[in-house]
Amino acid sequence: MCMLLNYIAHVLCSIGAINWGLVAFFRFNLVEFICKYIPIPKLNLVIYGLVFLAGIYSLVILFMCCKSLTCYTK
């Protein structure tokens, strides 16, 4: 279960990073573009919320792994 959650978080973070890159370089918001054609109210907010949670989860996992590997320099 933990591997699946890590995989999902990694995919969502990647989607968020790609979307922000598209916004920064081409002024094209992929999430908004997709949400225009799927008639689900507030779908874009759900996607952004999931990407946010995945980012927080990934940071926590990163620091937990980093701490267990003692990669902090003193």
Residue 63, pLDDT score: 84
Residue 67, pLDDT score: 67
Could you list the residue range(s) of the whole structural domain that residue 15 is in? 2-68
Query: How many angstroms separate the CA atoms of 59 and 65, rounded?
Result: 10
Burial (CB count <10 Å: 0-12, 13-18, 19+), residue 30: middle
Instruction: Please indicate, yes or no, if residue 73 is contained in any of the structural domains.
Output: no
Residues whose CB falls within 8 Å of the CB of residue 15, separated by 6 or more in sequence, listed in order: 51
Provide the domain count of the chain.
1
Residues of the chain with pLDDT under 70: 67-74
Instruction: Please indicate, yes or no, if residue 74 is contained in any of the structural domains.
Output: no
